[in-house]
Structure 1
Amino acid sequence: MGFISNINNELLSKVATNNGHGENSAYFDGWKAYEIDPFHPTQNPNGVIQMGLAENQLCFDLIQEWVVNNQKSSICTAGGCEEFKEIAIYQDYHGLPEFRRAVARFMSKVRGDKIKFDEERIVMSGGATGAHELLAFCLADPGEAFLVPTPYYPGFDRDLSWRTGVQLFPIICESSNNFKVTKKALEDAYNKAQESNITIKGLLLNNPSNPLGTILDMETLKDTIRFINDKNIHLVCDEIYAATVFNEPKFISISEVIISENVQCNLDLIHIVYSLSKDLGFPGFRVGIIYSYNDVVTKCARKMSSFGLVSTQTQYLISDMLLDDTFIEKFVVESRERLEKRHGVFTKGLENIGINTLESNAGLFCWMDLRSLLKENTFESEIELWRMIINDVKLNVSPGCSFHCCEPGWFRVCFANMDDDTMRIALRRIEIFVVQYKGINNIIEEGIENSLPIAPGPVSFTSISSSNNRGRSSIAESNELETQI
């Protein structure tokens, strides 16, 4: 006797059957395209290259070296098995004391030791995803909303809204001022929400920004403090990319701003979300952190954290690593240097192809300007272009519309989740596509071959979208172009 499958959604909850996860979007569709046909340099050289995932894989050699030299820090090695029982048994959901102390010290270090964080305020969660949802549960009721500057990370719709019923209300930022968050934009969004009878409970800032790769300056941060104090709403600062700032201007944490002179702030309104997913490159460890200056929120969040704790095995390993000052100082410096180098090589490669990016100095991605390739200045045209890039160029980049960008033609492209050879192949694919798409017959003399040694490996586009006759007419040239590159 087999199981009977009942697909009647009326028997399920509204949360289970709604589209609040946001999975039906170009952002997640790109991931699916990669999973179906993943690039491999030898086994699948014509597969999709993953450039839609903000992972920091540039310093794993340093991590591996530390793990080999510190086997006692893992309970699953001969050197650390004596601690297995103590770590495997039940632990308080406050977290291991040494783990909270290590995280507090690391947060201070990546912020230039300008701020001392209290380990008693460290609340752990299953990644930044769990931390955001947990804060949303603490700060707002279903139907209430957070203001969020656009463009913003697509996962925020899932993290803060899907199961909580909290809304995200956009603050419209534009390319004319490099998507800067202005006082006028803040006020306009708040007033528009009021007109729609939406209760605003907080402001969510992502600093450094995903997808822009930019940081908020001191004056902008002070303006946001004045704004949330005036409106008596919360400020949630997502600072998960704090240690990825690789060039001037330096990162300024909200924790630094609230102790500045001439800044009056109700500390009960300030909350920070952090994780080790981006700064250390440990997304699989699911280490998310809430740091709230509000005692009630800290206590409530700690109770709620029992639904998404970090394993004690992970806490044990991480605490030893973060408390190794010599290693951490070396790692942070080296990571920033490698990110700066990769960012420079990648953006220069795009520039030589004729593609501009928003000027940035942080993060694991670039905000790429493809407006000149749009057939029309519409989001429909943006999606059409994105489909060509996914299906024909075989690159998973993310269209701006999935980040709620108000202007079509912008794309986020990640550069730190691959090795140098894969990056070179990706740049070559982009060049071939741009040449074909624009109907150019010859490679630009000052192309990427003059600035970057190209790794071996075939590139083959089976078609360019049928809606683009110029691209289709140049398909036959692709093999010749590959040879030239």
Structure 2
Amino acid sequence: MNQDSFLSEKGKKAAENSARVDIEVYFEAMDNLYHPVDNPDGALPMNVAENQLCWKQLKEKIQEITKTKEIPDWVAGYGDPAGVEDFRKAIADFLGERIIKSPIDADSLAISGGATGVIEMTSFLLANPGDTAVIPAPSYPVYTADIGVVPDVKRFDLQTHHELDELKNGIPISIDQLDKAKLEIEDSGSHFKILILTSPDNPTGMIYSESQLREITDWCIQNQVHLIVNEIYGMSRIQIDQDELKHDYPNPISFYSFGKIMKEYQSPLLHYWYSFSKDFGISGFRIGVLHSLNENLINAYRNAGLSHSISNHTQWFLTEILEDKEFLDEFFANQSQALNQAYRTVRNSLNEVGIKFNPSYGSLFVWMDLSHLLPEQNQEGETKLWREIYDSTNILITPADGFGHSKRGLFRLVITSLNPDELDVAMERLKGFVKSKAD
């Protein structure tokens, strides 16, 4: 019997399409993990955007809370689908003090199970099926499923550049490009409903300047397009003023949070995403955040978001963590040090073997150019090279398929998925592979 007959059309599509093209290889790698003694030739996965740099410190804090504090009775009952009030207040204080650098109101927040839940819910509530969300390329591959599976929103990859060198002064997005995208989308019978920016960006590590954000904001308001800025890596920034790195940034850009612009403009078309998965390194805890001054959107989120709500127990102990400012100071100081050390390790290794990459302002990634190693200048050649790297070195990097970029041969390295010793091993293997291709 054909089991497809028991599924809806969306169900059939979901059954046939994996969320990630590398998921099976990832599970294979996870079953063969590197160990310096027990499995020295094992796999080193660097394809999934997880931050394991300071989990031990956060784990100890969570254990301390659960051992020394009494669990309040309210965690066993239902709570506000948009997040219990104390948790939203703690998040508002955290974002306002550490990323946005301006106070925000807890009532402007709604939370869901992970960034995926927030992206899906926001898209569902802002756009109609068949509408289009524009995303500058290259960008997070799983946006496609997040906005498409349930909300049924189309993804449009805006080609702002082709070569890495074009990023040296920032992401070269222009109003002309947005105008052309709008015309193309409308000619296809769809509506340009949402523009999604990520700053720091996945995978390039770039950030948008204040002047860019303001120019894009003005265009979106004028054209009645919802602008969403994802600052999920807001605390994961590279210290570009280090002596070793300064010359990589001839025209440095300063991080400026979109939250400040939202507060100034007070527009119902401006929105902000955050999640605890990257800066805190707890992707498995599933906490995503929407910040919007559109009261109707927050109300709709509350009324429709029960299926995406987060465990009250999780909200309780994370409130305890967020309210411990001394712990957060120490945690993020250690996190920054570890992130920057990992970045320098990767940067220096790539420079050593002449691999081009984009100097990162933040995020958990390095976006590198291996196009000179492609057996064929097409998608098939890109996939062959990705698989050859894994088969030869047991290093699993993120395949370029799904990032929506015009240039072939660009790959993402997650620099925070390994400890420092493992990262050294991975870089030695990668350097050996590149040198072998040059022989």
The TM-score normalised by the length of structure 1 is: 0.83
Query: For the Cα contact (< 8 Å) 2:80–2:302, is it kept in 1?
Result: no
- Partner residue, 1:301: 301
Runs of 5+ in structure 2 lacking a partner?
A: 241-252
The Cα of 1:91 is off from its aligned counterpart by 2.7
Question: 1:292 deviation in Å?
Answer: 1.2
Partner secondary structure for residue 215 of structure 1: coil
2:255 counterpart (246, 251, 258): 251
Alignment pair present for 1:131 and 2:118: yes
Write the distance in 1 (CA, Å) between the matches of 2:285 and 2:60. 18
Alpha-carbon shift at residue 14 of structure 1 (Å): 1.1
Could you tell me which residue of structure 2 aligns to residue 166 of structure 1? 153
Residue 24 and residue 296 in structure 1: after superposition, are their counterparts in 2 closer, same or farther (change >3 A)?
closer
Give the count of matched residue pairs.
422
Alignment correspondent of 1:37: 32
Q: Distance in 2 between matches of 1:323 and 1:407?
A: 45
Aligned to 1:208: 200
Unpaired segments of 5 or more residues in structure 1?
1-5, 440-485
> CA 1:420 to 1:140, structure 2 compared with 1: closer, same or farther past 3 Å?
same
Distance 1:317 1:408, change over 3 A: same
3-state SS of 1:244 partner? coil
Specify the alignment match of 2:325 in structure 1: 325
Q: Which residue of 1 aligns with 2:357?
A: 357
The alignment's C-alpha RMSD in Å is: 2.0
Q: CA deviation at 1:29?
A: 4.3
* CA distance, structure 2, for counterparts of residue 435 and residue 53 of structure 1: 26
Q: Secondary structure at the match of 1:50?
A: strand
What displacement does 1:146 show?
A: 0.8
Q: Find the partner of 2:88 among 85, 94, 100.
A: 100
Rounded to whole Å, the distance in 2 between the matches of 1:431 and 1:326 is 40
Query: Is the aligned partner of 1:383 residue 2:372?
Result: no
Residues 281-312 of structure 1: CA distance to partner in whole angstroms, max 9, x if unpaired? 11111111111110100100112221111111
Aligned partners of 2:34 and 2:44 also within 8 Å: yes
* CA positional deviation for 1:183: 2.3
Assess if the C-alpha contact under 8 Å between 1:367 and 1:410 holds in 2.
yes
Structure 1 runs of 4+ off > 4 angstroms? 19-22
What's the CA shift for 1:19? 4.6
Q: If you compute each CA radius of gyration, which structure gives the higher value, 1 or 2?
A: 1
**Does the 8 Å contact 1:213/1:367 carry over to 2?**
yes
Q: Given the alignment of the two structures, is residue 110 of structure 1 paired with residue 98 of structure 2, yes or no?
A: yes
- Residues 223, 340 of structure 1: CA spacing in aligned structure 2 closer, same or farther, 3 A cutoff? same
SS in 2 for 1:417: coil
CA distance in 1, matches of 2:22, 2:177: 26
1:464 aligned residue: none
CA distance in 2, matches of 1:24, 1:206: 20
AA paired with 2:278?
K
Distance 1:20 1:156 in 2: 18
Q: How many angstroms apart in 1 are the aligned matches of 2:308 and 2:407?
A: 37
Show the counterpart of 1:419: 419
Q: 1:357 to 1:30 in 2, by over 3 A?
A: farther
* CA deviation after TM superposition for structure 1 residue 250, in Å: 3.6
| Aligned-partner Cα distance in 2 for 1:11–1:108 | 48
Q: Where in structure 2 are the equivalents of 1:419-458 lying within 5 Å?
A: 419-439=419-439
**Structure 1 match to 2:215:** 223
Contact 1:26 1:398 in 2 (8 A): no
Could you say if the C-alpha distance between residues 415 and 117 of structure 1 is closer, same or farther in structure 2, counting changes exceeding 3 Å?
same
Q: Distance in 1 between matches of 2:6 and 2:140?
A: 32
Partner of 1:443: none
Task: Indicate the percent of aligned positions where both proteins have the same amino acid.
Answer: 28
Write the letter of the residue equivalent to 1:223.
E
Instruction: Determine which of 55, 60, 80 is the counterpart of 1:60.
Output: 55
- Please give the secondary structure, in 2, of the residue aligned with 1:318: helix
